[in-house]
Amino acid sequence: MSIDYAGFRRELESFVRGACPPEIRAVVAAGQKITKREYQAWQQILNAQGWGAPSWPREAGGTGWDIRQRLIFEEVMAENDCPPLYHHGLGHIGPVIIRFGTPEQKARFLPRILDGSDWWCQGYSEPGSGSDLASLSTSARLDGDAWVVNGQKIWTSHAHEASMIYMLVRTSKEAKKQEGISLLLVPMDTPGITVRPIQTIDGWHHLNEVFFDEVRVRADNLVGEVGKGWTCAKFLLERERLPPANVARLELMRRQVTQLVEEASRAAAGLRDFSGLHHKLLLCEADVKGARVMMAQATDDLIHQRPLGVQPSVIKMTCADVAQRLTTIALDAVGPDAAHRFLAEAGDDVPDATWIQNYMFTRARTIAGGTSEVQRNVVANELLGA
C-alpha cells in the first residue's frame, strides 16, 4: 500500500500545532535548554497520540513508520518549535533492547521508555577509553544471581538526573578486548553508584563522572549474550550517527540565527554593516540544504537496503561544522550582550545571553559521538583505501 506522505505531513502539522504547549515551544524557539520535565511532558503527549516511538516497530509499541515518515516527523517537529525526542531511551537503548533483549526485558523496560518514566544515560567512555572504546576496563563479575560492577565512566550526559544507565562492562579479560565486553542495564539508585558533576565552559550541567563500587546488578539485566556487548554497541552507533533529527534541528538553528541577524541589523539602523554575516548565513544555508539532500539519499538507501557507506560520517561532520559556524555568526550579531550568560541564569532579562552557551556547547559537536578526525579517517579508508 502506497503512503500519502503529503497527507501524513499535514496530519503531523495539524496535531503538533495544537498539542505542543506554547511555553515549551517558546523555549525551543528561543534556543534555550530544554529541561527534563519539558522533555517528559512532550513525550507523554506524543505517546498518548500513539507517536511516542517513531523509530520502533508496532509490536514494540512504536509507530511502525518507514524511514521517510520518520524524517518527515523530525522536520515537522523542528519547523514547529517542538522539542526533539530524548535520544538515549527512544533512539539508542530502546532499539537495542528490541533487537537483542529477551521478552522479559522488553516487557520491563520498553513501556517505561515510551511513557517517559525512565530517563536513560549512556555509560561508554572512560578516562582511558574514548575513541578506543574497546579498551574499557570497568569490570563486571558474576556472583550468584548478580553482576558486581566496579570502575568509572566519564562524560556521561544527564547521569545526575537519570534513573537508568546502559553501560559497557568487561566480563572477560582472557578474550580479545572486543569479545570480552557485555552490555548491562543498571538502575542509577543502586547502592555503590556515585555521580559527580563535570563543569563545562557553556555553564550548563549535562556531563558527569560516574563511579561504581561493588554495584550489584541482577543477572538478567545483561542484554544479549555474555561477551557480545560489542555487537550491541556497533548496532547502536550506526543509529547514533544517522539520526534524522540532527539535520532537521540544524535547519531550526539556521532559522533562529537568521532571525537574530535580521533583528540585530534593524536595531543597528545603518550603524554597522551586516553584509558579511548575511553572506556567511547564505553559505550555511547552502550546506544545510546539502545535508538535507544527503539525508534524503541515505533515507532512500535505507528503504532500498543499499549500504550507506560513508554517508553517516559525512552527515555528522557537516552538521557539527555548520552548527559551530551558525553559533559563531550568532555571537557576532549579538555582540557584547552575549557575555551576560550568568546574569541570565540569575534571572535577569538578557534574551541573547543563551547564544554564548550554545556557542560553547557546539564546540563539542566535533567530538561527541566520534570525533571529526576519526570520521575523516573512516571516509579516507572507505573511499581511498588508506
Residue 140 belongs to domain with CATH number = 2.40.110.10
Q: Which domain holds residue 374?
A: 241-384
The percent of residues above 90 in pLDDT, for the chain, comes to 56
272 and 350 inside one domain: yes
Q: Does position 30 have pLDDT exceeding 90, yes or no?
A: no
Report residue 339's pLDDT band, with 50, 70 and 90 as the boundaries.
Answer: low
| 49 belongs to a structural domain | yes
| 372 belongs to a structural domain | yes
3-state secondary structure of 85: coil
Q: If you average pLDDT over residues 125-153, what whole number do you get? A: 92
| 13 belongs to a structural domain | yes
261 and 365 inside one domain: yes
3-state secondary structure of 68: helix
Write the pLDDT tens digit of every residue in 264-282. 888 887 778 889 999 999 9
Q: Would you state the pLDDT for residue 366? A: 85
Query: What domain count does the chain have?
Result: 3
167 and 190 inside one domain: yes
Q: What is the pTM of this model?
A: 0.85
| 235 belongs to a structural domain | no
Residue at which a domain ends, from 203, 227, 251:
227
| 106 belongs to a structural domain | no
329 and 245 inside one domain: yes
68 and 128 inside one domain: no
CB atoms within 10 A of CB 15: 16
Which contacts (CB < 8 Å, 24+ apart) does range 306-313 have?
308/242, 309/382, 310/378, 310/379, 310/382, 310/383, 311/242, 312/238, 312/241, 312/242, 313/241, 313/370, 313/375, 313/376, 313/378, 313/379
- The CATH number of the domain holding residue 45 is 1.10.540.10
| 30 belongs to a structural domain | yes
281 and 350 inside one domain: yes
| 150 belongs to a structural domain | yes
Write the pLDDT tens digit of every residue in 211-251. 999 999 999 999 999 999 999 988 887 666 666 667 888 98
Give Cα 22 distance to the centre of its chain.
23
Q: Would you state the pLDDT for residue 346? A: 42
State the Cα–Cα distance between residues 225 and 296, nearest whole angstrom: 35
- The highest-confidence range among 130-139, 151-160, 198-207, 367-376, by mean pLDDT, is 151-160
The percent of residues above 70 in pLDDT, for the chain, comes to 93
371 and 266 inside one domain: yes
* 158-167, 171-180, 297-306: segment of lowest average pLDDT: 297-306
Q: If you average pLDDT over residues 82-100, what whole number do you get? A: 92
Residue at which a domain ends, from 227, 259, 290:
227
Residue 242 makes CB contacts below 8 A (sequence gap 6+) with 298, 308, 311, 312, 315, 316
Q: Would you state the pLDDT for residue 178? A: 84
Q: Which residues are catalytic?
A: 240
327 and 373 inside one domain: yes
217 and 247 inside one domain: no
* 114-128, 172-186, 232-246, 323-337: segment of lowest average pLDDT: 232-246
- The CATH number of the domain holding residue 343 is 1.20.140.10
212 and 171 inside one domain: yes
Q: Where are the alpha helices (DSSP H) in 178-274?
A: 229-240, 244-268
Give Cα 230 distance to the centre of its chain.
20
| 110 belongs to a structural domain | no
132 and 223 inside one domain: yes
256 and 298 inside one domain: yes
Q: What is the mean pLDDT of the chain?
A: 89
